[in-house]
Amino acid sequence: MAFEKSDELGISELHDVEVIKLLVAGGFGVGKTTFVSTISEITPLRTEERLSDIGSTVDDLTGVEGKKTTTVALDFGRITLSPRVVLYLFGTPGQNRFWFLWRELSVGALGAVVLADTRRMQDSFAAVDFFESRDIPFIVAVNCFDGAEIYDEDEVRAALNIGSYVPVQLCDVRNRDSAKLVLVRLIEHLMVQTTRGITSGW
């Protein structure tokens, strides 16, 4: 799948472009902002604030002690698949107190990436439950942090209690090619889900 630049797209042509809205979700500090920043072809919109001493009593920094900032609303990026198909990526905030924003961000979303950290798999449960309850197709992308244990797909599925139909992709969100593979896997998954839906009469 080719990822092309969209500089040639003018504002007057946007009404002819098919926009696919995707979410990037997961727990606090799992790499959502980094993922969007790595893959976006434009300078991403980021709504980060510095972590404060007061926030440290609310946010669990276990495993991410070096984290200095946090997303308080959303991250936004864009990728062009072709001159007529564009992906809009919306990264969700990770802290519990901002989860009310997920409902608004999910409106119109065709699919999602749930980022997971094997050191804190329990932080992915909320995102998995959210998308399952809303019938939004998703894949799980395991961000392979330095020094973290690496598990195979079946082990990840078992830990998250998800079905075999949910793709699991190992990745490094700092690497653009690795991040591309995650989105390719998600698009392929969405195409399969759409075909199944048409066949079964959804």
Architecture of domain 11-200: 3-Layer(aba) Sandwich (3.40)
pLDDT in tens, 38-53: 999 998 876 554 544 5
Mean pLDDT, the chain, whole residue set: 80
Where along the chain do its domains lie?
A: 11-200
**Does pLDDT of 14 surpass 70?**
no
Per residue in 112-167, pLDDT (tens digit) is 999 999 999 999 999 999 999 999 999 999 999 988 888 999 999 999 999 999 99
pTM, entire model: 0.77
57 — pLDDT class (breaks 50, 70, 90): very low
* Whole-number Å distance between alpha carbons of 63 and 132: 27
Confidence of residue 29 (pLDDT cuts 50, 70, 90): confident
Closest CA to 24 of 46, 42, 2, 7: 46
